[in-house]
């Protein structure tokens, strides 16, 4: 029936105007996203009429997530979890999955934790995982910490309210932009994601920074999604000294010192010894790549 309806819509200009209008597409995407939570009707209602934060229980893992409805939180939620479009973007390549699945308690660093969606995905995928998350935006931090507390994971999920770079100190930061909050030095230098908050809506604040290379980076998985801040790390000569077995990186055109950020990210990772790579997606202005060292 669904295929027949799809064909009918494609053949009829009137039906296309109805079913492919922004309100209709929003409803369809909302319904698909609701599949990832245990109370889909409540999720749909909140997403259609409310901008408040609400708690939901994830199907499968049973973990609790807190989302600000009708914001970019829900867009990122759709990307991370399987909501009818296929596997989430963090579904690892087969060799990485096999290595992590073999560990009872894989260790992970989460740079740019936002509201904790990657952490919740990882803990659902690897229930024994131990995670250290970093998130400097004071608007995102309460939801991230609420996720840790709501799931009683304080013993295995640590949160630091700081930015991660290749130096310790403090840097100007554009806050209040949901998933697009970023260091002010890279803000506005590239295309914005569809639905992303306007840079003018952000507030520039000073945030403390820590040096990644001075942290405990002897981990199984390092996730980096810091909205252009990744380039100071990728271009640091110490990158080859990282002890992370696997890196999953979301690269951005923002802050990239070269014209082709996709090629630059792949080359810099390869030069640091992460010779095995698999691209998860490439949206032009951003993309996700898994990288790991050859030979295990």
Q: What pLDDT digit, counting tens, does each position of 260-274 carry?
A: 999 999 999 999 999
> What's the rounded mean pLDDT across residues 173-197?
76
Q: Is the pLDDT of residue 170 over 60?
A: yes
> Is residue 1 very low, low, confident or very high in pLDDT (cuts 50, 70, 90)?
very low
The ranges assigned to domains in the chain are 87-292
Distance of CA 209 to the CA centre of its chain: 20
Q: Say what the alpha-carbon torsion angle 170, 189, 263, 277 is, to the nearest 10 degrees.
A: 50
Q: Is the pLDDT of residue 153 over 60?
A: yes
- pLDDT single digits (tens) 212-258: 999 999 999 999 999 999 999 999 999 999 999 999 999 999 999 99
- pLDDT single digits (tens) 20-58: 677 777 788 888 899 999 999 999 999 988 778 999 999
> Is residue 193 very low, low, confident or very high in pLDDT (cuts 50, 70, 90)?
low
Whole-number pLDDT of residue 88: 81
Class in CATH terms, 87-292: alpha beta
What is the Cα–Cα distance from 50 to 207, expressed in whole angstroms? Answer: 31
- The CA–CA distances, whole Å, from 171 to 10, 48, 207, 250, 276 equal 51, 37, 6, 21, 33
What is the Cα–Cα distance from 136 to 162, expressed in whole angstroms? Answer: 4
Whole-number pLDDT of residue 92: 96
For residue 202, give both structure tokens: 């952000």
Q: Is the pLDDT of residue 74 over 80?
A: yes
Q: Is the pLDDT of residue 196 over 90?
A: no
pTM: 0.90
3-state SS, residue 236? coil
């Amino acid at each position: 029936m669904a295929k027949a309806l799809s064909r009918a819509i494609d053949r009829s200009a009137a039906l296309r105007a109805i079913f492919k209008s922004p309100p209709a597409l929003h409803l369809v995407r909302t319904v698909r996203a609701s599949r990832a939570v245990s109370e889909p009707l409540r999720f749909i209602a909140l997403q259609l009429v409310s901008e408040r934060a609400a708690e939901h229980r994830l199907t499968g893992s049973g973990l609790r997530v807190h989302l600000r409805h009708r914001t970019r939180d829900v867009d990122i939620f759709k990307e991370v979890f399987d909501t009818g479009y296929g596997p989430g973007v963090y579904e690892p390549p087969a060799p990485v999955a096999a290595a992590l699945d073999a560990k009872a308690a894989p260790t992970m660093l989460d740079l740019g934790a936002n509201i904790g969606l990657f952490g919740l995905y990882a803990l659902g995928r690897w229930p024994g995982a131990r995670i250290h998350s970093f998130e400097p935006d004071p608007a995102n931090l309460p939801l991230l910490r609420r996720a840790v507390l709501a799931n009683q994971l304080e013993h295995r999920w640590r949160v630091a309210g700081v930015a991660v770079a290749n130096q310790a100190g403090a840097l100007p930061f554009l806050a209040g932009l949901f998933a697009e909050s970023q260091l002010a030095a890279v803000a506005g230098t590239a295309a914005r994601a569809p639905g992303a908050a306007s840079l003018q809506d952000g507030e520039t604040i000073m945030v403390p920074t820590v040096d990644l290379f001075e942290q405990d980076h002897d981990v199984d998985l390092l996730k980096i999604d810091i909205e252009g801040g990744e380039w100071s790390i990728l271009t640091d000569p110490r990158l080859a000294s990282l002890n992370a077995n696997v890196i999953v990186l979301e690269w951005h055109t923002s802050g990239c010192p070269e014209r082709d950020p996709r090629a630059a990210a792949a080359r810099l990772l390869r030069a640091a010894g992460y010779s095995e790579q698999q691209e998860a997606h490439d949206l032009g202005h951003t993309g996700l790549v898994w990288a790991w060292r050859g030979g295990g």
